[in-house]
């Protein structure tokens, strides 16, 4: 969700410049800075941005400049009014000295072209043009970053899918392993129990029901397939991927708790590590 874009446009002897920059954030947040003369256009600017951005903290700076080589527009009316106020103040306070040009130019609005009267309907087409150019550059940069992120996410999802296949192969061995442990414990305790003993069979059946992970594996496969499918969509998928990751964590934790088998537990630890890396990356996706 990081990116940068800049666009400019001219109108009525002025230039509008728009700069966009963003950092990662789970929700969409727009920090917008507009010249006073263009504040009326803020809702339109936000609507344009919201049509392209759904996540991230976006800083938007809009500048309004008089065309020329560093020249500032002088607001004659503001200069006259400010000099008049200074003159009244000088006489009221009985101050000596003359009012200088430098003092007048420091007055509010005298050199500030933003305070000049601007018809917002005239300025809007230029502002919209500059904003669209900035957004186009911004989205292009984010798309390039997104492609790199997508490649990394696909690699990690494939790794987790391989782990799920391995667990599926190991799952049937859990009950046999538990059966062997029960017989071993009975032997150490000096108890003679046949493999066909009803008590042993009941314990094995109970354990098999408690440690069955077939449903969790089915849901894991489904969530992974959905995650993989959303990566190929040309639309915002960050929130959807975030939700799927929560479900993947839930099913993986349940498998680790229910299986009670060292080989599966070791695989689950590795899966959690990959899922945590996925979660960190998904925070960067719109």
Judge whether residue 267 has pLDDT over 80.
yes
pLDDT at residue 200 greater than cutoff 60: no
94-143 residue pLDDT tens? 888 888 887 887 777 676 554 456 788 889 999 999 999 999 999 888 88
Dump the DSSP string for the chain.
--EEEEEEEEETTEEEEEEEEEE--SSEEEEEE--GGGGGGHHHHHHHHHTT--SEEEEEEEEEEESSSS-----HHHHHHHHHHHHHHHHHTT--SPPPHHHHHTSTTTS-GGGS---HHHHHHHHHHHHHHHHHHHHHHHHHHHHHHHHHHHHHHHHHHHHHHHHHHHHHHHHHHHHHHHHHHHHHTT----TT-HHHHHHHHHHHHHT--HHHHHHHHHHHHHHHHHHT-SS--HHHHHHHHHHHHHHHHHHHHHH--HHHHHHHHHHHHHHHHHHHHHTT--
Categorize the per-residue pLDDT at 223 as very low, low, confident or very high, splitting at 50, 70 and 90. very high
Q: What is the pLDDT of residues 28-68, one digit of tens each?
A: 788 998 888 888 999 999 999 988 887 778 899 998 887 65
The pLDDT of residue 149 is 84
> What share of the chain has pLDDT > 90, as a percent?
29
Q: For residues 9-17, give the mean pLDDT.
A: 88
* Per-residue pLDDT band at 185 (split at 50, 70, 90): low
Give the pLDDT score at 44.
94
Model pLDDT, residue 69: 45
Q: How confident is the model at residue 70 (pLDDT cuts 50, 70, 90)?
A: very low
pTM: 0.56
The arithmetic mean of pLDDT across residues 253-275, rounded, is: 87
* pLDDT the model gives residue 207: 56
Confidence (pLDDT) at 197: 59
Q: What is the pLDDT at residue 270? A: 92
pLDDT at residue 201 in the model: 56
* Pairwise pLDDT comparison (113 vs 18), residue with the higher score: 18
pLDDT value at residue 181: 61
């Amino acid at each position: 969700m990081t990116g940068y874009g800049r666009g400019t446009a001219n109108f009525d002897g002025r230039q509008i410049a728009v700069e966009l920059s963003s950092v990662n954030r789970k929700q969409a947040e727009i920090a917008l800075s507009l010249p006073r003369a263009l504040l009326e256009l803020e809702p339109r600017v936000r609507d344009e941005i919201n049509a392209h951005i759904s996540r991230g903290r976006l800083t938007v700076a809009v500048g309004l400049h008089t065309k020329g080589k560093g020249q500032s527009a002088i607001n004659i009316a503001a200069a006259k009014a400010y000099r008049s106020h200074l003159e009244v103040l000088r006489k009221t306070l009985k101050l000596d000295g003359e009012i200088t040009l430098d003092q007048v130019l420091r007055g509010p609005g005298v050199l500030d072209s933003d305070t000049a009267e601007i018809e917002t309907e005239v300025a809007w087409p230029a502002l919209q043009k500059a904003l669209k150019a900035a957004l186009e550059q911004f989205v292009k940069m984010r798309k390039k970053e997104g492609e790199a992120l997508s490649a990394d996410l696909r690699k990690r999802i494939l790794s987790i899918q391989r782990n799920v296949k391995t667990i599926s192969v190991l799952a049937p061995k859990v009950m046999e392993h538990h059966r062997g442990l029960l017989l071993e414990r009975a032997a150490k305790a000096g108890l003679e129990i046949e493999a066909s003993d009803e008590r042993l069979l009941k314990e094995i059946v109970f354990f098999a029901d408690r440690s069955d992970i077939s449903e969790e594996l089915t849901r894991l496969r489904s969530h992974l397939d959905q995650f993989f499918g959303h990566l190929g969509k040309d639309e915002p998928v960050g929130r959807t991927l975030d939700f799927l990751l929560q479900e993947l964590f839930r099913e993986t934790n349940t498998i680790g708790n229910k299986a009670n088998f060292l080989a599966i537990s070791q695989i689950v630890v590795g899966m959690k590590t990959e899922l945590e890396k996925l979660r960190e990356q998904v925070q960067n996706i719109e």
